[in-house]
């Protein structure tokens, strides 16, 4: 098949980008012809032979202008090509397939409104041109003749709840994980070296939080819980991986909860697998997440996970030794209890084995298989 994939950026720095890179690379290895349209391409892929990269025009001083430029640029450029199937990884379509990796924006927008601090904040959100554009695009995608791909049943349910019959064309294709890149053997290979680089002692218990939107992913919730867990677990440390423009406020929040010297901010990292390899627990108390890829990446590395029930990546995975699910609430009791249970030192080896077993049901290859079958059915009409 001759396939076109469209996204605002191409690389391996984020969850959606890693899914797109894996899918296009493996489809090319299976003999398909791949064109990638993107506003920005990681220079490491610019000369790759598995796909042709075509530049999209993404400029503008404001997010809504950049989003609109991306939408118009992709619409005009892709029309000039002849493809069996066009797949939009984001708000650039739809034409044939629209993958709504971020889930239902209407649900997320309503959550933002409910969490706003006052009438002015709610008014500001309602007037936001960027949110208006995203909501317009979502309605347009659901009302078009294209197929919608969601990464989890949770995301599909949200779309159906908001858009009713218009969401009947939603198909669920869960993300997969590279079981070779993310592997328990990394703990043996990198534990001592990586802990030295992070200034974490071998005997310290390390909790990690990996995200780029700290509030949505629940870092504030985790900091509150850490205050209580630190009273029971000696030598407890938290490492925050990722960037957020409000990072300084979370640093101050950590101090206000008595966590001075116990919380570190690592920023963006190119190899998150090395972080998982030296950690004892991943905690992601997310408020809304159709599919947090870090969940299955951590499990694949043998790292136990605590997350909320609104994380679509945990659907279908059994709770137990390696996975604990809590309600999405700002009350810390459940989170504290789950973290304490997962950090019990007597069963860490068993937890690591169980984590790997859970991840093996979501391999990268099986995810590409599902995509290939779907694209073949669309081509056949």
pLDDT by residue (tens digit) across 221-263? Answer: 999 999 999 999 989 999 999 999 999 999 999 999 999 899 9
Sheet with 33-41: strands ordered across: 52-55, 33-41, 2-10, 85-88, 97-99, 147-150, 170-172
N- to C-terminal Cα separation, the chain: 13
- 154 shares its domain with 289: no
- Domain extent, residue 169, equals 2-176+364-380
Query: How many distinct structural domains can be found in the chain?
Result: 2
- 200 shares its domain with 328: yes
Distances (CA, A) of 69 to 4, 40, 91, 125: 19, 13, 11, 22
- 222 shares its domain with 350: yes
Buried b (16+ CB within 10 A) or exposed e, 288-313: bbbbbbbbbbbbbbbbbbbbbebbbb
Backbone φ and ψ of 185, nearest 5°: -65, -20
pLDDT of residue 289: 94
For each of the chain's 381 residues, which pLDDT tens digit applies? 999 999 999 988 788 888 999 999 999 999 999 999 998 888 888 677 888 999 888 887 888 888 888 888 888 888 767 899 999 998 887 778 999 999 999 999 999 999 888 889 999 999 999 999 999 999 888 888 788 999 999 999 999 999 887 777 889 999 999 999 999 999 999 999 999 999 999 999 999 999 989 999 999 999 999 999 999 998 999 999 999 999 999 999 999 999 989 999 999 888 899 999 999 999 999 999 999 999 999 999 999 999 999 999 998 899 999 999 999 988 999 999 999 999 987 688 899 999 999 999 999 999 999 999 999 998 776
pLDDT of residue 381: 67
Size (the chain), residues: 381
CA 266 – CA 158 distance, rounded (Å): 33
pTM of the model: 0.92
Alpha helices in the chain (DSSP H): 15-29, 63-78, 105-115, 119-127, 129-143, 153-163, 185-198, 214-217, 219-229, 247-256, 272-278, 293-300, 333-342, 348-359, 364-380
- 67 shares its domain with 161: yes
- 197 shares its domain with 336: yes
pLDDT of residue 316: 86
- 213 shares its domain with 321: yes
pLDDT of residue 319: 93
- 52 shares its domain with 191: no
- 169 shares its domain with 235: no
40-48 CB contacts, 8 Å cutoff, 24+ apart: 40/8, 40/9, 40/10, 40/11, 41/9, 41/10, 41/11, 42/9, 42/10, 42/11, 42/12, 42/13, 44/11, 45/10, 45/11, 45/21
CA 95 – CA 106 distance, rounded (Å): 21
- Angle at 316 (CA atoms; ends 175, 277), nearest 5 degrees: 60
Look up the CATH number of the domain holding residue 212: 3.40.50.2000
150, 100 Cβ separation under 8 angstroms? yes
- 21 shares its domain with 145: yes
| Closest by Cα among 217, 219, 205, 216 to 345 | 205
- 203 shares its domain with 295: yes
pLDDT of residue 80: 64
| Closest by Cα among 273, 267, 235, 232 to 250 | 267
- 227 shares its domain with 368: no
- 107 shares its domain with 222: no
């Amino acid at each position: 098949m001759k396939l076109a994939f469209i996204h605002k950026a191409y690389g391996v720095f984020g969850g959606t980008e890693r899914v797109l890179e894996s899918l296009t690379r493996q489809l090319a290895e299976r003999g398909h012809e791949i064109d990638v349209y993107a506003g920005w391409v990681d220079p490491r892929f610019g000369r790759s032979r598995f796909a042709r990269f075509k530049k999209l025009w993404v400029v503008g001083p404001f997010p809504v202008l950049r989003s609109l430029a991306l939408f118009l640029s992709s619409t005009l450029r892709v029309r000039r090509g002849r493809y069996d199937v066009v797949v939009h990884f984001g708000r650039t379509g739809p034409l044939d397939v629209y993958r709504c990796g971020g889930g239902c924006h209407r649900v997320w927008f309503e959550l933002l409104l409910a969490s706003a601090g006052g009438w002015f904040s709610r008014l500001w959100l309602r007037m936001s041109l960027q949110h208006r554009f995203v909501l317009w695009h979502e309605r347009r995608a659901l009302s078009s003749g294209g197929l919608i791909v969601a990464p989890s049943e949770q995301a599909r349910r949200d779309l159906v709840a908001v858009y009713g019959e218009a969401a009947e064309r939603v198909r669920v294709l869960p993300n997969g994980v590279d079981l070779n890149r993310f592997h328990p053997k990394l703990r043996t290979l990198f534990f001592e070296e990586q802990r030295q680089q992070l200034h974490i002692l071998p005997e310290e218990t390390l909790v990690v939080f990996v995200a780029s939107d700290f509030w949505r992913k629940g870092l504030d919730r985790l900091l509150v819980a850490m205050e209580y867990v630190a009273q029971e677990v000696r030598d407890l440390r938290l490492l925050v991986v990722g960037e957020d423009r409000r990072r300084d406020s979370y640093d101050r929040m950590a101090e206000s909860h008595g966590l001075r010297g116990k919380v570190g901010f690592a920023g963006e990292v190119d190899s998150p697998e090395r972080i998982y390899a030296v950690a004892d627990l991943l905690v992601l108390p997310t408020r809304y997440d159709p599919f947090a890829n870090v969940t299955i990446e951590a499990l694949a590395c043998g790292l136990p996970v605590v997350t909320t029930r609104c994380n679509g990546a945990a659907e279908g995975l059994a709770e137990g030794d390696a996975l604990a699910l809590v309600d999405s609430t700002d009350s810390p009791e459940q989170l504290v209890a789950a973290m304490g249970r997962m950090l019990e030192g007597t069963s860490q080896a068993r937890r690591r084995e169980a984590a790997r077993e859970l991840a093996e049901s979501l391999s990268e290859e099986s995810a590409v298989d599902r995509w290939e079958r779907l694209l073949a059915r669309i081509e056949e009409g």
